[in-house]
Amino acid sequence: MAVRAVRGAVQLERDESGHMEEQVGALLTAVLERNDLHADDLISIWFTATPDLHCDFPAAAARKLGIVDVPLICAQELDVTGAMPRVVRVLAHIESDRPRAGITHVYLGAAAALRKDIAQ
């Protein structure tokens, strides 16, 4: 089984804990479903959030989904002038038999504009 990486992002409408939990949960669920993954396939997950998000840690949404024994870490995204606001990004390391080209990266809602080349 190979180690692969899958990317994704979502833009929040507002900086509120419940909204972050809902949107990050939807992002992680989509990443798992679109790549036919289960929590046991996860090695680790990196989350980044833009500097305008302060309400909660994105990793908290993963824990509420039941992803409890996977290493998670949160970091702040670079504060680049003109960058899309209120974005949570994810980089998940997984075990998968899929070839690299078979991995489905997930960019939900307005975040699809971040990677038009790979957004689903």
Cα Rg for the chain, rounded, in angstroms? Answer: 14
Q: Is 73 among the domain residues?
A: yes
* Residue 36 in domain: yes
Note if 107 is an active site residue.
yes
Active site residue 115: yes
Active site residue 55: no
pLDDT value of residue 120: 53
Whichever domain contains 59, its CATH number is 3.30.1330.40
The active-site residue, picked from 4, 63, 95, 98, is: 63
pLDDT tens per residue across span 29-47: 999 999 999 999 999 999 9
Given 4, 7, 21, 86, which residue is catalytic?
Answer: 7
Instruction: Choose, from 77, 86, 98, 100, the residue flagged as catalytic.
Output: 77
- Output the pLDDT for position 118: 63
User: Domain tally for the chain?
Assistant: 1
Residue 15 maps to a domain: yes
Structural domain harbouring 60: 2-115
* Amino acid 114: pLDDT: 86
**pLDDT of amino acid 85:** 97
Residue 22 lies in a domain: yes
Is 120 part of any domain?
A: no
DSSP 25-83: HHHHHHHHHHTT--GGGEEEEEEEE-TT--S--THHHHHHTT--SS-EEEEEPP--TTP
Buried b (16+ CB within 10 A) or exposed e, 97-110: ebeeeebbbbbbeb
| Residue 86 falls in the annotated catalytic set | no
Residue 46 lies in a domain: yes
The answer to whether residue 100 sits within a structural domain is yes
* Active-site option among 74, 86, 95, 98: 74
pLDDT digit string (tens) for the chain, length 120 residues: 899 999 999 999 999 999 999 999 999 999 999 999 999 999 999 999 999 999 999 999 999 999 999 999 999 999 999 999 999 999 999 999 999 999 999 999 999 888 766 655
Residue 9 lies in a domain: yes
- Whether the pTM exceeds 0.85: the reply is yes
